[in-house]
Amino acid sequence: MDTYMTYNSITESILQELKHIVGDKYATTDADKLEIYKTDEEGNSIYFHYPEVVVFPASTEEVAAVVKLANTCLIPITPRSAGTGLSCGAIPVHHGIVMELERMNQIIEMDADNLFCIVQPGVRTVDLQQAAKAKGLLYAGDPCSAESCQIGGNLATNAGGNKAVKYGTTRHQIYSLTVVTPLGDVVKVGARLEKCSTGYCLEQLISGSEGTLGIITEATLKLRTLPPYSFDIVAIFDDSSKALALPRRILKAGIEPTSIEYMDNRAIVISGNFIKCDLPHAKNGGVYDIITVEAYDQDELDKKMEQLSDLCDEAGAVDVLMADDRIWEARKQFADACRELCLTWASSDYVVPLDKIINVTAELPEIMRKHSIDGGIVAHIGDGNIHVNILNTQNQEPEKWAHTLHAYDDDIFSLVYKLGGKMSGEHGIGYKKKDAFEKFTPAGELKLMKLLKKAWDPNNIMNPSKIIDVE
């Protein structure tokens, strides 16, 4: 934590000013309600911090007014959407104000002719997906938590997900953003253009900045024509190295899959038990590659299916099946399955070049054994993003469990960075990985980030102690 930072507390007069801005019922200090906001998806109590007040603004103007007040009074603000993050990014480590954006939940415009939409940050990702689909369109952002997460959080963390192989991460869906800066100014960055070389690309910088450079209050996002034909298959292997080699074969063949997801056997068993389903080859050590391919023509789809089937056979698959709803449910429910087994479960999400995935997964079992860690591996293997969901099966106390995870992270991050990777592909750094980020990030890169944060947020009120510390 930035122990050298000194902030002021919420006084009765400040509380009344906040109520004047957002309305009496939308600024609360009720203890039962504050309980909700002590954490995001983090279950280890050593990270819990309570806000002094939670505000629920309904407009960009209200957000800006709150931020200006916080600057004047030197009070930290923690922006929050659905609170589904996994890196303690929405935890108010300096207390102060939590700004909950759930009331700003409107799809303002859906332009089917020109393939864009304008949305507020509190819109659930699944609601935007469904609204687009109803018009024959696709919103391509698709994190596994789509049914609960919100667009604001997706933008703030540059969320990835299942379709990132073909369509990119959330950052690739952005035209423009309306942002309230840390000084309370309202600024629109970006434009509805297909290309632009006009100054700094600020919308791309703000996406992934985890609320440290401003609060996103509106976004103009790209839509695409929904491909009318698709298929999902699961290629089952008895050897993880064979499964992990398949994506490069698929991409090299020019099939252009929408997604390629991997589940090791431990993940398959954990998810199968959770959804109460006997998954194919779960009991005999099978591992999965789940592949989605889309097309605009039936003949094209048939050709790709035949190509893909041949590639799976050549790669050594023991079985190739249509991936029905239970297969996708198992993949998407893996995090919930782990949470049911262990409230203090943890999820890592390092990312490496595609050709280095095998190097990481080959060493993972030994690193996990070294730290007595149990867990399953899932991955967006089409883009090199590996998740290890770790279970506290030994019921270690909070401090000891955090120490175990830090020691594990130190080993795995050393390997990942040696292979040219990074510690996060989509979850972000937040508060939980801040110290590791400082350790593994090159000094010059870190210096630029700190200079930027200090310039944009001179009072350090905007989600302080996330990603980096500033002096």
For 62-101, letters b (16+ CB in 10 Å) and e give bbbbbbebbbebebbbbbbbbbbbbbbbbbbbbbbbbbbb
Residue 231's alpha-carbon distances to 173, 280, 288, 302, 422, in angstroms, are 23, 18, 16, 9, 32
Domain boundary among 375, 391, 419: 419
Q: Is residue 117 located within the same domain as residue 81?
A: no
Q: Is residue 297 located within the same domain as residue 350?
A: yes
CATH number of the domain at 25, please. Answer: 3.30.43.10
Structural domain span for residue 112: 107-225
State the angle between helix axes of 298-315 and 240-252 in degrees (0 to 180), rounded to the nearest 10. 140
CATH number of the domain at 119, please. Answer: 3.30.465.10
CATH number of the domain at 243, please. Answer: 3.40.462.40
Q: Is residue 124 located within the same domain as residue 240?
A: no
Q: For the chain, what is the domain count?
A: 3
Q: Is residue 131 located within the same domain as residue 215?
A: yes
254 within some domain: yes
Q: Are 298 and 361 in contact (CB under 8 A)?
A: no
d(CA 353, CA 241): 16
Mean pLDDT by 10 residues, the chain (471 residues): 74 98 98 97 96 98 98 97 95 98 98 98 98 97 93 97 94 98 98 96 98 98 96 96 93 94 97 97 97 96 95 97 95 95 94 94 93 94 94 94 97 98 97 97 97 97 97 79
Q: Is residue 54 located within the same domain as residue 89?
A: yes
pTM of the model: 0.95
Domain boundary among 102, 123, 149: 102
Q: Coil, strand or helix: which one is 376?
A: strand
Q: Is residue 242 located within the same domain as residue 336?
A: yes
Q: Is residue 114 located within the same domain as residue 189?
A: yes
The 10s digit of each residue's pLDDT in 231-275 is 999 999 999 999 999 999 999 999 999 999 999 999 999 999 999
Predicted confidence at residue 1, as pLDDT, reads 47
Predicted confidence at residue 6, as pLDDT, reads 87
d(CA 256, CA 221): 23
Q: Is residue 135 located within the same domain as residue 154?
A: yes
The 10s digit of each residue's pLDDT in 177-230 is 999 999 999 999 999 999 999 999 999 999 999 999 999 999 999 999 999 999
410 within some domain: yes
Residue 277 burial by Cβ neighbours in a 10 Å radius (0-12, 13-18, 19+)? middle
449 within some domain: no
Dihedral of alpha carbons 414, 420, 425, 428, sign: positive
Q: Is residue 409 located within the same domain as residue 284?
A: yes
Give the type of residue at 121: P
370 within some domain: yes
450 within some domain: no
431 within some domain: no
Long-range CB contacts (within 8 A, 24+) of 109-114 = 110/135, 110/137, 110/223, 111/223, 112/136, 112/137, 112/223
Predicted confidence at residue 187, as pLDDT, reads 98
Q: Is residue 328 located within the same domain as residue 379?
A: yes
State the angle between helix axes of 398-418 and 357-370 in degrees (0 to 180), rounded to the nearest 10. 150
Q: Is residue 250 located within the same domain as residue 355?
A: yes
Domain boundary among 225, 257, 289: 225
Predicted confidence at residue 144, as pLDDT, reads 87
437 within some domain: no
Q: Give Cβ neighbours of residue 112 (< 8 Å, ≥ 6 apart).
A: 135, 136, 137, 223
470 within some domain: no
Q: Is residue 93 located within the same domain as residue 120?
A: no
